[in-house]
Amino acid sequence: DPKIIQKPKYLVAVTGSEKILICEQYLGHNAMYWYRQSAKKPLEFMFSYSYQKLMDNQTASSRFQPQSSKKNHLDLQITALKPDDSATYFCASRHGGENSDYTFGSGTRLLVI
Amino acid sequence: GQQVQQSPASLVLQEGENAELQCNFSTSLNSMQWFYQRPGGSLVSLFYNPSGTKHSGRLTSTTVIKERRSSLHISSSQTTDSGTYLCAWSNYNVLYFGSGTKLTVEP
């Protein structure tokens, strides 16, 4: 069974629309993250949360807003979508506050047309 | 900013050959992790290896953190090893990824 569930796996959106990417982890981790992988670029860090609080944000645009309704959820709301937002978005988690390994979800592949 | 360099960028092997993948980081960080990215895109953790040598089946990871380098050795490669191998360094709260080594193992 997947330990980090990301939904949907694939998403096609129209420019200017808004979408929410879902992430749930069942590992008992207190730290959750979002990463993005655009075509031909390395995975890049977007956000980190610990105990449902924002710890670090390296996303320049306010169009990207994480939402943590429960301690094992970290959704990503993206507004006013642009074609450049097309990428695979990965959710990850780990035991925060210590050196521990990261577990990644299988990603949501977003295409903005 | 931090930079993670992986080499080679791509590698083609015949089944049964060994591979050595390298990862270097430009500034000091505290730990690192190797991932395998399947052709479909999902990430599988291979090693969390902040220092020293770790083994898992045909894979061996060696990290010398003071020298800011890590290597991944694949022995007796198989066609199912084909995919992209990513290394990532951590500063406690952020993973910085390299561009990956794309491995193709031919039968």
Token pair 């390296």 is found at A58
DSSP structural state of residue B67: G
Q: Please check the confidence at residue B50 and state whether its pLDDT lies above 90.
A: no
Q: State the Cα–Cα distance between residues A95 and A29, nearest whole angstrom.
A: 5
Using CB atoms, which residue from B35, B41, B100 is nearest to A109? B41
Average pLDDT estimate for B11-27: 95
Minimum-distance CB partner of A42 among B41, B50, B99: B99
Q: DSSP per residue over A58-112, as a string? A: ----TTEEEE-SSTTB-EEEE-S--GGG-EEEEEEEE-TTS----EE---EEEEE
Question: Shortest CA distance to B96 belongs to which of B84, B87, B106?
Answer: B87
More confident residue, B2 or A83: A83
pLDDT tens digit sequence for A42-101: 999 999 999 999 988 988 799 999 999 999 999 999 999 999 999 999 999 998 766 788
Q: In terms of Cα–Cα distance, which of B56, B55, B58, B62 is closest to B75?
A: B58
For A101, which of B4, B45, B98 is closest by C-beta distance? B45
Collapsing DSSP to helix, strand or coil, B55 comes out as strand
Residue A84's pLDDT is what? Answer: 95
- Is the CB of residue B21 less than 8 Å from the CB of residue B6? yes
**Assign residue B46 a region: left if phi > 0, alpha if psi is -120 to 50, beta otherwise?**
alpha
Tell me whether residues B97 and A104 touch, CB distance under 8 A.
no
**Mean pLDDT for chain B overall:** 92
Beta strands in B1-107 (DSSP E): 4-7, 10-14, 19-25, 31-37, 43-48, 52-56, 59-64, 69-74, 83-90, 95-97, 101-106
Mean pLDDT, residues B23-47: 89
Contact B94 A44 (CB under 8 A): no
pLDDT of residue B24: 94
Q: Is the pLDDT of residue B1 over 70?
A: no
Is the pLDDT confidence value at B64 over 70? yes
A6: closest chain B residue by CA: B42
The 8-class DSSP code of residue B79 comes to: G
Question: Is residue A24 very low, low, confident or very high in pLDDT (cuts 50, 70, 90)?
Answer: very high
